[in-house]
């Protein structure tokens, strides 16, 4: 299999045409198998890895990032070979820590963005995140605060690009326009659910991405395994 690298929307960064999703690492896929998958991905030319600060739910939120961090720590140029994407928005309550201020909230406040970025960097054992994505829209927090927080992280060298996930077309337009007013690069990508059985983003999200030059990152392209034949067919069933 030969993969080509493509620009992420209108921006300069090159990523593989396939992105390795890591949501199952640590709680469904063992750490050993996760390491093997990431090694194999690099061998095949997949240099784009996606995760989130909350992945690893049934073990502990953040556990998936820790696994990726231990994989990076093996060296061999692994970190430099990967365009690393993670996300912020949801609460990440760590069992070993005392409850943090605002820990219950789902938000894109400056406090949360700064705090959770530091946590992700520590778990991932890296100095920077290539693509820091807003996991969901936060209609309660003003864009002044959100964009100021992301801009501060860019200037500190802790993140390179900002993306969105699960945004509506209108949210993408607003985010891009608010960033432009401040002279910021703004969004470079949107990550949305997209597969043959769910094509809703074709109505507004994809047109918005095209208009603003965003790269589109589909998640669950096989509908959680449904389109890949992962589900078993039973001979008998029941009517409800």
Strand partners, 218: 192
Query: Directed axis angle between helix 143-155 and helix 110-124, to 10°?
Result: 40
Among residues 217, 201, 213, the alpha carbon closest in space to that of 87 is found at 217
Give the other-Cβ count within 10 Å of 17's Cβ: 11
Which position has the token pair 């029941």? 238
Among 55, 161, 194, 212, which one carries the catalytic annotation?
Answer: 55
40 is written with which tokens?
Answer: 């194999």
* Strand pairing report for 19-21 and 83-88: unpaired
Is residue 234 annotated as part of the catalytic site, yes or no?
no
180 is written with which tokens?
Answer: 């432009």
Q: How far does CA 87 lie from the centroid of its chain?
A: 5
Among residues 162, 186, 161, 215, the alpha carbon closest in space to that of 8 is found at 215
Within the chain, where are the H helices?
31-43, 63-73, 78-81, 110-124, 143-155, 169-181, 205-212
Catalytic residues: 55
């Amino acid at each position: 299999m030969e993969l080509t690298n493509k620009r992420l929307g209108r921006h300069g960064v090159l990523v593989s045409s396939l992105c390795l999703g890591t949501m199952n690492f640590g709680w469904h896929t063992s750490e050993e198998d996760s390491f093997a998958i990431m090694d194999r991905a690099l061998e095949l030319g997949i240099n784009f890895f996606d995760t989130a600060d909350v992945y690893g739910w049934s073990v502990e939120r953040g556990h998936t990032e820790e696994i990726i961090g231990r994989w990076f720590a093996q060296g061999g140029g692994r970190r430099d070979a990967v365009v690393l994407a993670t996300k912020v928005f949801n609460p990440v309550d760590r069992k070993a820590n005392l409850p943090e201020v605002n820990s219950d909230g789902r938000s894109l406040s400056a406090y949360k963005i700064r705090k959770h970025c530091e946590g992700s960097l520590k778990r991932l054992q890296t100095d920077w995140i290539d693509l820091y994505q807003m996991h969901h829209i936060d209609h309660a927090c003003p864009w002044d605060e959100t964009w100021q927080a992301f801009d501060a992280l860019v200037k500190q060298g802790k993140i390179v690009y900002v993306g969105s996930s699960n945004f509506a077309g209108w949210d993408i337009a607003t985010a891009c326009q608010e960033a432009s007013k401040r002279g910021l690069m703004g969004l470079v990508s949107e990550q949305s659910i997209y597969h043959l059985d769910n094509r809703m983003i074709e109505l507004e999200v994809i047109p918005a991405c095209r208009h603003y030059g965003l790269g589109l990152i589909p998640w669950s392209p096989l509908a959680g395994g449904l389109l890949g034949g992962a589900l078993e067919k039973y001979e008998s069933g029941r009517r409800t």
